[in-house]
């Protein structure tokens, strides 16, 4: 199972970039064999979700093979901000999902959490709010923002505890918290709390099973492990695999901080401890803890202070604390976890990728759940119904044959250019025969397309 988590700082610009290069989001995810893709800060409002992707020719955003699950901000003063979305391949299609996990109406309306239930485990995709700027004394300049963040974290922990009582939880996303000194660049290590409040860092330390005794600039690791049953805690899988690495996931773009490796690690993949972690996740981390960071990928930005040293000769790429997009392709069949050096112009964050072993259970076959894009968006639903009812002249046959094609493909329709052309030609032949029968061949006759055909679907007006 391949999981990717990434704060993309706006999804539409990335879709437009892919579209202009002749690619799509779906083809990008498929080419990297991704099963679960969690994006934060999508910045798309519900009102514009259908309009924008159709207007710009970006149909793959909500249709196609992957299901998508959205939580968009519905607050009047925050529409088009925040937002999280999880894309899932047919193999791990969720049996249920929720965009009201926090149980607080105002918090849930901010569009910061989406939960998907994959049968054997939950995935919680989260974008934690920023606490605001802090002064030299370490206090928030706007205390209300700090209080808002603390309340959000409290609700999130309660929700994860509730989920964890029934099955394993994978919590991913932008937490907006730097945990220890190794998680921030040298220039920030002298700041009170490294720029984060003790409340925030205590919360994350508590989730990881550490003592909540974090002070000004102290490290939770120096305080030792917390008590209690470890089954109630999470594992920071990237830090577990790379305990000494000083690699960051977020950089200030305006100052080109990525080139100097001056950033912070605020993006996480946390997995609840237990049999699921031991059997499916831990093997991806074994043998990585003491590995020398000597791959061919170099440091963030290709060099500079704090960059990872390069080996003169590396015969094959290995899982390091950070890897390039090129080396990732060579590692897709090998379990591991790394910070992925995604294109700098796409986002001020880097992605996190986790490749688990083959022991991860698959959900049983089922219908798309209520929040699935295949239920919510008219395109997916109409396309499947139309395909099942299409006549034999349409691609793949109609009726039971078409339905069988859908079932064997997991409910998907291979609607590529060749399929559209073949469908149009088949429909044209059918219309020509109708003209001959009616004795009006040779002159244009507007014969209405038969209901339930591919031609009818593409010619009929659709909602924006």
Rounded-to-integer distance, Cα 46 and Cα 55, Å: 15
Phi then psi dihedrals of residue 277, to 5 deg: -65, -45
* Total residues found in the chain within this entry: 464
Distance CA 197, CA 209 (A): 18
Secondary-structure breakdown of the chain: helix, strand, coil percentages, each rounded to the nearest 5: 40, 15, 45
Question: Which pLDDT belongs to residue 327?
Answer: 85
Burial group, residue 173, by CB count within 10 angstroms (0-12, 13-18, 19+): buried
pLDDT at residue 229 in the model: 53
pLDDT given at position 241 = 92
Output the CA–CA distances (angstroms, integers) from residue 263 to 95, 186, 259, 453, in the order listed: 38, 9, 10, 55
What DSSP string runs through 216-246?
Answer: SS--GGGG-B--S-GGGSEEEHHHHH-TT--
Residue reference for tokens 């083959």:
358
Q: Give me the phi and psi of 137, to 5 degrees please.
A: -80, 0
Rounded mean pLDDT for each run of 10 residues along the chain, 464 residues in total: 94 83 86 94 82 54 80 87 94 96 95 97 96 64 86 96 95 93 77 74 91 50 46 87 91 84 92 91 68 38 39 58 85 88 90 89 93 74 36 37 38 45 62 55 45 40 42
Look at residues 184, 227, 219 and name the one whose alpha carbon lies nearest to residue 202. 219
What's the DSSP call for residue 184?
B
Tell me how many degrees the CA angle 172-173-179 measures, rounded to the nearest 5.
95
- Per-residue pLDDT at 168: 95
Contact 195, 178 (CB under 8 A): yes
Query: Which conformational region is residue 385 in: left (phi greater than 0), alpha (psi within -120 to 50 degrees), or beta?
Result: alpha
Q: Provide the token pair at 3.
A: 């999981």
Q: Is the pTM of this model over 0.85?
A: no
82: left (phi over 0), alpha (psi -120 to 50) or beta: left
Evaluated on CA atoms 52, 74, 266, 37, the torsion sign reads negative
Contact criterion met (CB below 8 Å) for 262 and 187: yes
pLDDT for the residue 222: 43
Residue 43 CB partners (closer than 8 Å, separation 6+): 9, 10, 11, 12, 80, 81, 82, 83
Dist CA 305 CA 261 (whole Å):
7
Can you list the domains of the chain with their CATH numbers?
2-355 (3.60.10.10), 377-459 (no CATH)
Per-residue confidence (pLDDT) for residue 462, from 0 to 100 = 42
DSSP codes joined into one string, 123-152: EEEEEPPP---B-TTS-BSSHHHHHHHHHH
């Amino acid at each position: 199972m391949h999981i990717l988590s990434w704060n993309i700082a706006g999804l539409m610009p990335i879709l437009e970039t892919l579209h202009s290069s002749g690619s799509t989001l779906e083809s990008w995810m498929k080419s990297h064999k991704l099963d679960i893709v969690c994006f934060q800060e999508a910045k798309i409002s519900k009102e514009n979700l259908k309009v924008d992707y159709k207007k710009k020719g970006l149909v793959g955003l909500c249709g196609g093979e992957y299901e998508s699950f959205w939580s968009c901000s519905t607050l009047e003063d925050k529409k088009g901000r925040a937002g999280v979305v999880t894309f899932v391949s047919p193999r791990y299609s969720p049996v249920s999902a929720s965009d009201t996990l926090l149980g607080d109406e105002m918090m849930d309306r901010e569009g910061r959490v989406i939960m998907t239930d994959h049968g054997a485990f939950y995935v919680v995709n989260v974008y934690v709010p920023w606490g605001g700027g802090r002064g030299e004394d370490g206090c928030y300049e706007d205390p209300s923002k700090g209080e808002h963040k603390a309340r959000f974290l409290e609700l999130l922990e309660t929700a994860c505890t509730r989920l964890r009582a029934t099955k394993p939880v994978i919590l991913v996303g932008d937490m907006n918290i730097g945990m220890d000194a190794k998680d921030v660049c040298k220039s920030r290590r002298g700041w009170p709390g490294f720029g984060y409040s003790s409340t925030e860092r205590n919360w994350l330390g508590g989730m990881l099973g550490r003592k909540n005794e974090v002070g000004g600039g102290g490290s939770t690791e120096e305080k030792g492990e917390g008590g209690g049953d470890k089954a109630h805690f999470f594992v920071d899988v990237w830090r577990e695999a790379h305990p000494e690495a000083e690699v960051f996931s977020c950089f200030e773009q305006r100052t080109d901080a990525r080139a100097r490796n001056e950033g912070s690690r605020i993006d996480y993949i946390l997995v609840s401890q237990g049999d699921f972690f031991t059997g499916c996740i831990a093997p991806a981390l074994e043998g990585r803890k003491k590995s020398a960071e000597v791959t061919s990928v170099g440091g963030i930005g290709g060099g500079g202070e704090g960059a990872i040293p390069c080996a003169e000769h590396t015969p094959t790429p290995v899982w390091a604390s950070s890897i390039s997009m090129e080396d990732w392709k060579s590692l897709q069949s090998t379990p591991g976890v790394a910070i992925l050096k995604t294109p700098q112009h796409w986002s001020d964050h880097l992605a996190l990728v986790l490749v688990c072993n083959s022991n991860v259970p698959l959900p049983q076959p089922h219908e798309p759940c209520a929040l699935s894009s295949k239920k919510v968006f008219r395109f997916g639903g109409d396309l499947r119904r139309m395909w099942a009812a299409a006549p034999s002249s349409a691609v793949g046959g109609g009726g039971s044959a078409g339905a069988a094609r859908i079932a064997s493909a997991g409910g998907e329709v291979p609607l590529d250019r060749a399929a559209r052309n073949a469908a149009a030609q088949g429909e044209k032949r059918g219309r020509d025969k109708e003209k001959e029968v009616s004795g009006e061949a040779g002159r244009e006759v507007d014969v209405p397309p038969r209901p339930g055909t591919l031609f009818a679907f593409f010619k009929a007006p659709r909602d924006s």
